[in-house]
């Protein structure tokens, strides 16, 4: 029999009991849909990690305070990582030539009658460079290929200088929407705003920004921001000196390990960290490099892949058994038809082909349906996960291939059974 005729025969077989075939595919649909959705979640998580740590160049070490939870609050395990710790670092650590520091706080900002309660950012003078390096946001309608300069992020005025950071000057830079919220349509430049109980002069306004990754756009508000020199922020927003996040740039990328050791030695000495009873240093800070993140991410990806494979296997086996079951019923119901086909000259191979194709078509239908369901449920899954899900393009052919394979595998036994029927008994079957 030609393939086309076999195909038509198989289609006829399916359409003669479409509802049953449809219900049979449910397992495959769920299996394929979950494979696609889970892959999308994994892919999205990976993309988010990538985006979050893209700025972490291979030549930087990020240093933060080590914290523990005490009575429901995060508290440092030892000393805080202070602004001064960071400030001294380029001078004291041979391989570190520059540090960027930042601190996040909250406060009330007031101008005239307008008051906004918002996160405030203490930063060093190169905060805009960090923003560019992260590539999380860009000026609206920015040409993707072009790399923005710090000046491209400023709509008005300027950013604060290193001198203003050192001095703790009372200056600030506003995000686009924050400026509008505080000043309406008026020009904010050189105007005074109150941050908690201290005044500061607006020296710059950022241009309108958008999140680079369209999938993330509705989750963050890039235009609600308020930048202060980090020293000003520490003095103004906190009762006690807070911990800062220090990003140290290493002058020689090839000597990252060495630089790491130097930083550790520097901080241990500054914080007076001693060995504990077991002979291990009880460090009160944590170092992160891109290498660390990649390693952790790969570890997570492996775990995820394992879970995914387990789930896919279970649902596809269930789906496959469903197909096998329905095909066995179909073979029994169509015993007489098989007898007729054998009588007019069908070979065993013809019969195997017909029933195998039928189960493969059922599973392919289930696979296609599952792919559609999977793709459509990605936003839903992302919502439930409060995270990101990004369709991974390879997941569709992968899932379809697995579905086809399932149909082939579980259709084989019923098809072989059909082909082994004795023609005389099949013809006599009632």
Partner 1 sequence: MTTLINIHQLTKTYQMGDSTVHALRGVSFTVASGEFVALMGPSGSGKSTLMHLLGCLDTPTNGRYELAGQDVGRLSRRARARVRNEQIGFVFQTFNLLPRLSALANVMLPLQYRGRLAGSVVGKTAVSALEQVGLADRMHHKPTELSGGQRQRVAIARALVTDPALILADEPTGNLDSQTGQEIMALLQQLHQNGRTILLVTHDADVAAQTQRVLRMHDGAVISNQ
Which residues in this chain contact partner 1 in the complex, by CB under 8 A? Answer: 1-2, 4-5, 12, 16, 336-337, 339-350, 423-424, 427
The nearer residue to partner 1, 279 or 345, going by C-beta atoms, is 345
The nearer residue to partner 1, 4 or 69, going by C-beta atoms, is 4
The nearer residue to partner 1, 21 or 128, going by C-beta atoms, is 21
- Give CA–CA dist 308/285, Å, rounded: 35
The DSSP code for 144 is: T
Rounded least distance, CB 424 to partner 1, Å? 5
Rounded least distance, CB 361 to partner 1, Å? 16
Rounded least distance, CB 4 to partner 1, Å? 8
Rounded least distance, CB 347 to partner 1, Å? 5
The nearer residue to partner 1, 62 or 419, going by C-beta atoms, is 419
* CA 62 remoteness from chain centre: 21
Rounded least distance, CB 351 to partner 1, Å? 10
Rounded least distance, CB 49 to partner 1, Å? 55
The nearer residue to partner 1, 70 or 333, going by C-beta atoms, is 333
| Contact call for residues 373 and 403 (beta carbons, < 8 A) | no
Q: What is the largest CA-CA distance in the chain?
A: 101
259, burial (CB in 10 Å: exposed 0-12, middle 13-18, buried 19+):
buried
What is the DSSP secondary-structure string of 336-353? HHHHHHHHTT--HHHHHH
The nearer residue to partner 1, 34 or 330, going by C-beta atoms, is 330
What is the DSSP secondary-structure string of 60-118? EEEEEE-EEEETTEEEESSS---HHHHHHHHHH-TTEEEEEEEEEEEEEEEETTEEEEE
List C-alpha distances in Å: 148 to 131, 144, 152, 154.
10, 9, 6, 11
């Amino acid at each position: 029999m030609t393939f086309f005729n076999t195909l038509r025969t198989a289609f006829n077989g399916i359409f003669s009991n479409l509802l049953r075939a449809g219900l049979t595919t449910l397992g495959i649909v769920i299996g394929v849909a979950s494979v696609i959705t889970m892959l999308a979640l994994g892919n999205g998580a990976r993309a988010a990690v990538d985006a979050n740590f893209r700025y972490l160049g291979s030549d930087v070490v990020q240093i933060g305070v080590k914290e523990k939870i005490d009575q429901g609050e995060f508290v440092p395990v030892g000393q805080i990582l202070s602004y001064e710790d960071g400030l001294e670092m380029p001078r004291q650590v041979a391989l570190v030539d520059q540090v960027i520091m930042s601190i996040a706080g909250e406060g009330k900002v007031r101008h005239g009658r307008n008051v906004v309660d918002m996160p405030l950012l203490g930063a060093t003078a190169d905060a805009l460079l960090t923003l560019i390096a992260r590539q999380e946001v860009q000026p609206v309608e920015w040409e993707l290929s072009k790399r923005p300069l710090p000046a491209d992020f400023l709509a008005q005025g300027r950013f604060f200088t290193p001198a203003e950071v050192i001095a703790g000057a009372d200056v600030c830079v506003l995000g686009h929407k924050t400026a509008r919220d505080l000043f309406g349509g008026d020009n904010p430049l050189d105007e005074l705003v109150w941050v908690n109980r201290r005044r500061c002069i607006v020296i710059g306004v950022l241009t309108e920004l958008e999140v680079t990754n369209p999938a993330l756009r509705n989750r963050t508000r890039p235009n609600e921001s308020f930048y202060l020199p980090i020293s000003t922020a520490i003095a103004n927003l906190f009762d006690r000196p807070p911990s800062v996040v220090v990003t140290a740039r290493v002058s020689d990328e090839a000597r990252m390990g060495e630089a790491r050791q130097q930083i550790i030695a520097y901080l241990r000495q500054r914080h007076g960290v001693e060995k504990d009873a077991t002979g291990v240093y009880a460090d009160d800070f944590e170092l992160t490099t891109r290498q660390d993140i990649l390693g952790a991410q790969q570890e997570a990806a492996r775990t995820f892949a394992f879970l995914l494979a387990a789930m896919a296997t279970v649902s596809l086996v269930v789906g496959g058994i469903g197909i096998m079951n329905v095909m066995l019923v179909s073979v029994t119901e169509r015993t007489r038809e098989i007898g007729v086909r054998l009588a007019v000259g069908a070979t065993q191979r013809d019969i195997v082909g017909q029933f195998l194709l039928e189960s493969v078509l059922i599973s392919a239908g289930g696979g296609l349906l599952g792919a559609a369901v999977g793709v459509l449920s990605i936003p839903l899954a992302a919502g439930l996960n409060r995270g990101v899900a990004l369709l991974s393009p390879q997941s569709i052919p992968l899932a379809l291939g697995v579905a086809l394979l399932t149909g082939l595998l579980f259709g084989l036994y019923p098809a072989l059974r059909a082909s082994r029927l004795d023609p005389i008994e099949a013809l006599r079957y009632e």
